[in-house]
Amino acid sequence: MAAVGHSGRLAGVVRGRRRRLAPYLLLAPGMAWLVVFFIVPMYYLATTSLQHGSLEIGYTFSWAWSNYADAITTYHTQFLRSLEYAGIATAIALVVSYPLAYWIAFRGGRWKNLFLLLVIAPFFVTYLIRTLAWETILADGGPVVGILRDIHVLGPDGRLLATSSAVIAGITYNFLPFMVLPLYVSLEQIDARLLDAAHDLYASRPWSFLRVTLPLSLPGVFAGTLLTFIPATGDFINAQLLGTPQQYMIGNVIQSKFLQLTDYPQAAALSFVLMAAILVAVLAYTRLLGTERLTG
Amino acid sequence: MTAITAPPSATVVDVRLERLTKRFDDVVAVDDISLDIEHGRFFALLGPSGCGKSTSLLMIGGFEEPTAGRIYLGERDVSGLPSYKRDVNTVFQSYALFPHLSIFENVAFGLRRRGTRGDELKRRVLDALELVGLSGLERRRPRQLSGGQQQRIALARALVNHPRVLLLDEPLGALDLKLRKQMQLELKRIQHEVGITFVHVTHDQEEAMTMADQIVVMNSGRIEQAGTPTDLYEKPATAFVASFVGVSNLLLATVSGPGQVRLSEGTEVSVPAATLAGRTGEVAIGIRPEKIRLGAGELNVLAGTVAESAYIGVSTQYIVDTPAGSVSVCVQNDRPGATALAAGERLTLSWDPESTFAVEPPEGTP
Ligand SMILES: Nc1ncnc2c1ncn2[C@@H]1O[C@H](COP(=O)(O)OP(=O)(O)OP(=O)(O)O)[C@@H](O)[C@H]1O
Ligand SMILES: [Mg+2]
């Protein structure tokens, strides 16, 4: 009798311990992934950014903080341009995506999934090809430039390709689905009865939108803008294919330092500065929008 | 001498439905209903699931467009008016509290829209919260409240606007039995206190009987009967009402004279002449189980055998097989030491003719 009671209690203890371990076990694969593919590379990148030397003579670690100073003084224009282009593209994407997501969520009916598929359809084609397609569309002999010249928006030898507008348009286009999808999810989740309740309490349609729909969709706005802004800041394909060195963003600089000039320390330092810049921007943005209000 | 006289005992009609119909594709949810709801009433729309109660309520609130017919609030035809221009407020079944706003802001929503500000706003919101017994919760968010508390907030949010009519769509449906009983009395108290017309949708006949002073029974989109709880119970107009509101014994019979019917096996039974209302041929007569006595003593008599008996404390319920069909009888245990009859015992049932009502035989019976 006593033995049974004892082993029963033991089983209880083991079960209790297992329950306490369960969350960590569930976390383990993700943590392992992060350690191997994020922490370790970050460590190497960090040490690289403090080395000096060249590919021929080899790189040595020397706490070369000057890499950072150089990165900022030499390339601050490209840094600022990256933030500017990404910011403008994110804003345009938001303005374009919100009505689209709203329409699909509330008016899409049984075609919702089809419309969502259409939104992500361009993703079935490689990034590079999509951007090259834009090069054709915006080309000097292309239809868009022709029409804009005809209606005198562009001068007789005005062009679209190789301008900031082309780069920003390309970025907007390429990251649009990252904006539409989170917006759609947050709008789709809104209980239609809440809008009935707002109408019941004398709120007209615009007012219900401002006081109910918009605040409840803010988590989607937040997720969408971050998912667009962060990768857009580091982008280099659009500037390379649709712009000129005058439009180069920090991604172009890092890419050429790494792959063409093999100036690894400088490239690594630039990457860290970019990361810090994005982090600051995102923190400021989070403060502004307030995560607490979002999850309320 | 004045020539002008006030209309005698003017009753104000708050809601008038005129031949209201709502069709969804091939479903007729509400089928040509007409109805007057007087000011200050606690009015219940009662009916089984899917009979069109919610649809009727949503049309009054302006959330569904009628296919045909008109809706008046007071004198005003509001049929085409959007919900935000109607002087009614709704308590939704799911409460529909705004999750991103505090309790205070939830309750203040309608007032703010109508331009109430400052101290006046604050006073009215706090008064409304006090009315529903939830003072002190104004800074919380809806999801930090229990179901019963959310229900009260939904009520406060609607009442604070002093609408002409308050619409309630099964507001107690999500609560457990005990809380529901408590809220039924609470709602009734609040209605007395504010004096606003309540239109309360429910599928629970007991709830409707407890709370309402006027009940409309609906069935497949139509109105079966409108009246006070007593009317519906004592003088049901249709077989549906007779069995939906309380329990009824319905026996098939043929009219054999004024105030006289013959049951299917030949027994002659007296009924009030008025209840036959000139009917001839087949009818169904109904008697409530508690109006039947065990043993002779009343004018109408029927012999039978006890099929089942169940002692449930306050009363004992019997199922008695008679040649005219099986009859349920409910006997109050109001004497000490009463002994129940056992199954198989033969007995005589009797009842007062005045306790009998007649309705059209339910469909599907031969
Ligand atoms: N939007 C709609 N589209 C199609 N049919 C509907 C719609 N709303 C209601 N109906 C149908 O109309 C009928 C009445 O529905 P309603 O919601 O008014 O019933 P109810 O009496 O409130 O029932 P319950 O007690 O279950 O809430 C039902 O047959 C329902 O299927
Ligand atoms: Mg309903």
8 A C-beta contact, residue B249 and residue B289 = yes
Which of A254, A273, A279, A259 is closest to A46 using CA atoms?
A273
Q: What would the pLDDT profile of B81-91 be if each residue is shown by its tens digit?
A: 999 999 999 99
Candidate from B85, B89, B92 with C-beta closest to A193? B92
Cβ of residue B24 lying under 6 Å from some atom of ligand 1:
yes
**How far apart are the CA of A88 and the nearest CA of chain B, in angstroms?**
29
For residue B366, pLDDT over 70 is answered with no
pLDDT, residue B225, reads: 95
DSSP-assigned beta bridge partners for residue B257: B260
For residue B201, pLDDT over 80 is answered with yes
Domains defined along chain B, listed by start: 13-234 (3.40.50.300), 247-359 (2.40.50.140)
pLDDT, residue B4, reads: 47
Please answer yes or no on whether B84 and A193 come within 8 Å at the CB atom: no
Ligand 1 site-directed mutation target among B54, B94, B201, most atoms within 8 Å of CB: B54
Please answer yes or no on whether B109 and A216 come within 8 Å at the CB atom: no
- Give A-chain residues touching B110 at CB under 8 angstroms: 200-202
For residue B138, pLDDT over 80 is answered with yes
Q: What would the pLDDT profile of B182-193 be if each residue is shown by its tens digit?
A: 989 999 999 999
Angstrom CA distances, B76 to A256, B16, B195, stand at 75, 10, 21
DSSP B247-298: --EEEEEEEEETTEEEETTS-EEE--HHHHTT--SEEEEEE-GGGPEESS-S
Amino acid at A210: L
B360: which DSSP letter? Answer: P
pLDDT, residue A14, reads: 64
- Rounded distance between C-alpha atoms, residue B310 and residue B318, angstroms: 6
- Rounded distance between C-alpha atoms, residue B248 and residue B232, angstroms: 12
Q: What would the pLDDT profile of A38-47 be if each residue is shown by its tens digit?
A: 999 999 999 9
- Rounded distance between C-alpha atoms, residue B215 and residue B223, angstroms: 11
Please answer yes or no on whether B92 and A197 come within 8 Å at the CB atom: yes
Angle at the Cα of A247 from the Cα atoms of A245 and A250, rounded to 5 degrees: 90
Q: Given its phi and psi angles, is residue A19 left (phi above 0), alpha (psi -120 to 50 degrees) or beta?
A: alpha
Cβ of residue B203 lying under 6 Å from some atom of ligand 1:
yes
Grouping H, G, I as helix, E, B as strand and the rest as coil, residue A267 is helix
Interface of A with B (CB under 8 A): 191, 193-194, 196-204, 207, 211-212, 215-216, 293, 296
- Give B-chain residues touching A198 at CB under 8 angstroms: 98, 109
Fold of A73-295: MetI-like fold (1.10.3720)
DSSP-assigned beta bridge partners for residue B43: B199, B214
Per-domain residue ranges for chain A? 2-36, 73-295
Please answer yes or no on whether B94 and A196 come within 8 Å at the CB atom: no
Cβ of residue B51 lying under 6 Å from some atom of ligand 1:
yes
Query: What's the rounded mean pLDDT across residues A62-91?
Result: 92
ipTM: 0.82
Least confident of A94-108, A186-200, A257-271: A257-271
DSSP B146-208: -HHHHHHHHHHHHHTT--SEEEEESTTTTS-HHHHHHHHHHHHHHHHHH--EEEEEES-HHHH
Mean pLDDT of chain A: 88
Mean pLDDT of chain B: 90
8 A C-beta contact, residue B317 and residue B329 = yes
- Rounded distance between C-alpha atoms, residue B300 and residue B263, angstroms: 11
Query: What's the rounded mean pLDDT across residues B324-353?
Result: 87
Query: What's the rounded mean pLDDT across residues A169-193?
Result: 94
Q: Given its phi and psi angles, is residue A25 left (phi above 0), alpha (psi -120 to 50 degrees) or beta?
A: alpha
Ligand 1 site-directed mutation target among B27, B49, B56, B172, most atoms within 8 Å of CB: B27
CA of B22, closest atom in ligand 1: 12
Cα B15 to ligand 2 centroid, rounded to whole Å: 19
Least confident of A85-99, B23-37, B122-136, B269-283: B269-283
Q: What would the pLDDT profile of B284-301 be if each residue is shown by its tens digit?
A: 999 999 999 988 888 999
- Give B-chain residues touching A196 at CB under 8 angstroms: 61, 63, 83, 90, 92, 96
pLDDT, residue B93, reads: 87
Cα B29 to ligand 2 centroid, rounded to whole Å: 11
Query: What's the rounded mean pLDDT across residues B227-233?
Result: 94
Contacts for B42 with CB less than 8 Å, ≥ 6 apart: B188, B191, B198, B200, B211, B212, B213, B214
For residue B1, pLDDT over 70 is answered with no
Q: Give nearest CA residue, ligand 1 atom 3.
A: B24
For residue B7, pLDDT over 50 is answered with no
pLDDT band per the 50, 70, 90 thresholds, residue B278: confident
- Give B-chain residues touching A200 at CB under 8 angstroms: 61, 63, 83-84, 88-90, 110, 158
pLDDT, residue A54, reads: 83
pLDDT, residue B333, reads: 87
Candidate from A193, A198, A212 with C-beta closest to B94? A193
pLDDT, residue B11, reads: 81
CA dihedral for B359, B362, B363, B366, sign (positive or negative): negative
- Which residue of A194, A201, A204 is the best one to mutate when testing the B interface, meaning the one whose CB has the most B CBs within 10 A? A201
Least confident of A140-144, A198-202, B106-110, B185-189: A140-144
| The model's pTM | 0.82
Looking at all shown ligands, the one closest to residue B29's CA atom is 1
